[in-house]
Each structure stands twice: as C-alpha cells, then as structure tokens.
Amino acid sequence: MRVAVAGSIVCLSLGLLAVAFADGDEREDERVEKLMERIHEGRRSPYGQLQRIAAGEKADWGVVERAAAAFEPMRRALAESHVEDIRDSADGYIDAVREMRDAVGRRDEAGFRRAFTGLTESCGDCHYEDGVGGELEQDD
C-alpha cells in the first residue's frame, strides 16, 4: 500500500511539474516564429518588397498583391496562436494586415502606404524589451 501511495505521489508530482513547465514560460509559438522570419527578414522578403514600395518605389500591383497575400497566414497564425501573450499583442498587426489587404484589393496606393505604415508601427506591440516577441535586431 505504501509503495502504491508513494508511486502515486511521484506520478502526481511529475505531472504537476510537467504542467508547470508547459504553462510556465510558454512564450513561443514555432509556427509564428517561422512565418515571421520568412515574411519579414531580408530585402527580398514580402516585407522587404512592400517596404521599398511604401517608401516611394512605383507600385507594381502584381508584386504588391503577391507580397501582401503572404501576410494572411501570419495574420491567422497570430490570431490563432496557442500563446495568449502573442494573441494579446497582435491586434495592431492583424488590423493593419486587413487594412492593407483591403487597400491592395482596391488598388488604393495611398491606403496601402498608410496600412503598411500601421503594420510597421505595430511591431512595437510585441517587440520591445521583455515583450513576447523580444527586441528586434537593428540593421546597421
């Protein structure tokens, strides 16, 4: 009987420890991280392409449409993340992607530029010291 009780206590303790680790510092979502990297990093990324156009390069709507479409999976991943802190920090990004999608659909260049500016500004909602997204590396 003592062995069964001791075994139950050990199993219960290990189970509680596993739950503590699973809930404790769970601030990462691999899907979000992979999409964020693929969509935002590098000058040839969708973000890099739209950044040049938003900064004044003539809008080639074919390029804009393809690049803007790449943000939809990111928007969904943020909205559906299993990490509450990510979902809670993503409202500005999600709204900006919707606005950008709508402006691109209308081929509204001024609206696209405003939405892209909003998207860029939303990065600070996650990426700050101790934020769920961590601080962004600065390009020199």
Query: Whole-prediction pTM value?
Result: 0.74
Digit-coded pLDDT (tens) for 69-87: 999 999 999 999 999 988 9
116: Cβ contacts below 8 Å, ≥ 6 apart: 50, 51, 54, 96, 100
pLDDT confidence of residue 125 = 76
pLDDT score of 74: 92
Residue pLDDT, tens place only, 14-44: 343 333 344 444 668 999 999 989 999 999 9
Strands in 3-136 per DSSP E: none
Residue 71's SS3 state is helix
Is residue 53 within 8 A of residue 5, CB to CB? The reply is no
> What's the mean pLDDT when you consider all of the chain?
80
